[in-house]
Amino acid sequence: MANVTLKKKTDVQLTKLNEVKSYARKIWLAGLGAYAKVGQEGGEYFQELINSGQAVESKGKKVVSEQLEAANTQLDNVKGDVVSLKGRVEVQLDKVERAFDARVASALNRVGIASKHDVETLSAKLDELTALLERVARKH
Protein backbone atom coordinates (compact mmCIF):
# COMPACT_ATOMS: atom_id res chain seq x y z
CA MET A 1 0.00 0.00 0.00
CA ALA A 2 2.90 2.29 0.56
CA ASN A 3 3.87 1.59 -2.96
CA VAL A 4 0.42 2.62 -4.26
CA THR A 5 0.42 5.82 -2.21
CA LEU A 6 3.87 6.69 -3.48
CA LYS A 7 2.82 6.01 -7.07
CA LYS A 8 -0.29 8.21 -6.67
CA LYS A 9 1.81 11.01 -5.21
CA THR A 10 4.32 10.68 -8.04
CA ASP A 11 1.54 10.68 -10.67
CA VAL A 12 -0.04 13.76 -9.09
CA GLN A 13 3.31 15.52 -8.96
CA LEU A 14 4.08 14.59 -12.58
CA THR A 15 0.68 15.85 -13.69
CA LYS A 16 1.21 19.15 -11.85
CA LEU A 17 4.73 19.41 -13.25
CA ASN A 18 3.38 18.86 -16.78
CA GLU A 19 0.70 21.49 -16.19
CA VAL A 20 3.35 23.97 -14.99
CA LYS A 21 5.54 23.16 -18.00
CA SER A 22 2.57 23.61 -20.33
CA TYR A 23 1.63 26.91 -18.68
CA ALA A 24 5.24 28.13 -18.78
CA ARG A 25 5.39 27.23 -22.49
CA LYS A 26 2.17 29.17 -23.14
CA ILE A 27 3.62 32.18 -21.33
CA TRP A 28 6.80 31.90 -23.39
CA LEU A 29 4.81 31.65 -26.64
CA ALA A 30 2.60 34.61 -25.62
CA GLY A 31 5.74 36.69 -24.98
CA LEU A 32 7.18 35.72 -28.38
CA GLY A 33 3.84 36.56 -30.02
CA ALA A 34 3.72 39.95 -28.32
CA TYR A 35 7.29 40.67 -29.40
CA ALA A 36 6.48 39.69 -33.00
CA LYS A 37 3.28 41.76 -33.00
CA VAL A 38 5.09 44.86 -31.67
CA GLY A 39 7.76 44.35 -34.32
CA GLN A 40 5.14 44.26 -37.06
CA GLU A 41 2.78 46.93 -35.77
CA GLY A 42 5.47 49.07 -34.15
CA GLY A 43 6.64 50.40 -37.51
CA GLU A 44 3.07 51.22 -38.49
CA TYR A 45 2.48 52.94 -35.15
CA PHE A 46 5.70 54.92 -35.54
CA GLN A 47 4.55 56.07 -39.00
CA GLU A 48 1.18 57.09 -37.52
CA LEU A 49 3.04 59.21 -34.95
CA ILE A 50 5.06 60.87 -37.72
CA ASN A 51 1.90 61.61 -39.71
CA SER A 52 0.19 63.05 -36.64
CA GLY A 53 3.25 65.21 -35.91
CA GLN A 54 3.28 66.53 -39.46
CA ALA A 55 -0.41 67.41 -39.26
CA VAL A 56 0.08 69.27 -35.97
CA GLU A 57 3.12 71.09 -37.37
CA SER A 58 1.17 72.14 -40.46
CA LYS A 59 -1.73 73.43 -38.37
CA GLY A 60 0.70 75.28 -36.09
CA LYS A 61 2.42 76.96 -39.04
CA LYS A 62 -0.97 77.98 -40.44
CA VAL A 63 -2.05 79.48 -37.11
CA VAL A 64 1.26 81.35 -36.73
CA SER A 65 0.99 82.63 -40.30
CA GLU A 66 -2.59 83.84 -39.74
CA GLN A 67 -1.66 85.56 -36.49
CA LEU A 68 1.38 87.20 -38.12
CA GLU A 69 -0.77 88.45 -40.99
CA ALA A 70 -3.36 89.82 -38.55
CA ALA A 71 -0.62 91.56 -36.54
CA ASN A 72 0.85 93.09 -39.72
CA THR A 73 -2.61 94.32 -40.75
CA GLN A 74 -3.10 95.92 -37.35
CA LEU A 75 0.36 97.47 -37.59
CA ASP A 76 -0.46 98.91 -41.02
CA ASN A 77 -3.70 100.36 -39.62
CA VAL A 78 -1.83 101.93 -36.71
CA LYS A 79 0.79 103.35 -39.09
CA GLY A 80 -2.01 104.93 -41.14
CA ASP A 81 -3.55 106.41 -38.01
CA VAL A 82 -0.18 107.79 -36.92
CA VAL A 83 0.44 109.39 -40.32
CA SER A 84 -3.03 110.93 -40.26
CA LEU A 85 -2.55 112.17 -36.71
CA LYS A 86 0.88 113.57 -37.60
CA GLY A 87 -0.68 115.58 -40.44
CA ARG A 88 -3.37 117.00 -38.16
CA VAL A 89 -0.80 117.88 -35.50
CA GLU A 90 1.37 119.67 -38.06
CA VAL A 91 -1.64 121.69 -39.25
CA GLN A 92 -2.49 122.63 -35.67
CA LEU A 93 1.15 123.55 -34.95
CA ASP A 94 1.21 125.79 -38.03
CA LYS A 95 -1.95 127.53 -36.82
CA VAL A 96 -0.51 127.99 -33.34
CA GLU A 97 2.77 129.28 -34.78
CA ARG A 98 0.99 131.80 -37.00
CA ALA A 99 -1.19 132.96 -34.12
CA PHE A 100 1.90 133.31 -31.91
CA ASP A 101 3.76 135.27 -34.59
CA ALA A 102 0.79 137.58 -35.08
CA ARG A 103 0.47 138.24 -31.35
CA VAL A 104 4.21 138.84 -30.90
CA ALA A 105 4.20 141.23 -33.88
CA SER A 106 1.17 143.02 -32.48
CA ALA A 107 2.80 143.34 -29.04
CA LEU A 108 6.07 144.64 -30.57
CA ASN A 109 4.12 147.12 -32.70
CA ARG A 110 2.25 148.44 -29.63
CA VAL A 111 5.57 148.95 -27.83
CA GLY A 112 6.93 150.76 -30.87
CA ILE A 113 9.42 148.18 -32.11
CA ALA A 114 9.48 147.85 -35.88
CA SER A 115 8.57 144.56 -37.48
CA LYS A 116 10.74 142.72 -39.96
CA HIS A 117 8.56 144.02 -42.75
CA ASP A 118 8.94 147.57 -41.51
CA VAL A 119 12.73 147.20 -41.37
CA GLU A 120 12.82 145.74 -44.88
CA THR A 121 10.66 148.60 -46.20
CA LEU A 122 12.92 151.19 -44.53
CA SER A 123 16.00 149.43 -45.87
CA ALA A 124 14.59 149.55 -49.42
CA LYS A 125 13.82 153.26 -49.04
CA LEU A 126 17.32 153.85 -47.68
CA ASP A 127 18.79 152.10 -50.72
CA GLU A 128 16.72 154.34 -52.99
CA LEU A 129 17.81 157.49 -51.13
CA THR A 130 21.44 156.41 -51.22
CA ALA A 131 21.25 155.86 -54.96
CA LEU A 132 19.55 159.25 -55.41
CA LEU A 133 22.22 161.03 -53.33
CA GLU A 134 25.00 159.40 -55.34
CA ARG A 135 23.44 160.64 -58.61
CA VAL A 136 23.05 164.14 -57.23
CA ALA A 137 26.63 164.13 -55.95
CA ARG A 138 27.94 163.10 -59.37
CA LYS A 139 26.10 165.91 -61.10
CA HIS A 140 27.72 168.58 -58.91
Could you list the pLDDT tens digit for every one of the 140 residues in the chain? 445 555 666 777 778 888 888 888 888 888 888 778 777 777 777 778 788 889 989 998 999 999 999 999 999 998 988 888 898 999 999 999 999 988 988 888 888 888 888 889 999 999 999 999 998 888 87
Biggest alpha carbon–alpha carbon distance for the chain:
181
A 10 A CB-CB count for 98 gives: 10
Please tell me whether the overall predicted TM-score, pTM, comes out greater than 0.95 for this model: no
DSSP-derived secondary structure letter, 114: P
Q: Where are the domains of the chain?
A: 2-139
Which residue blocks in the chain are alpha helix, DSSP H?
2-111, 116-139
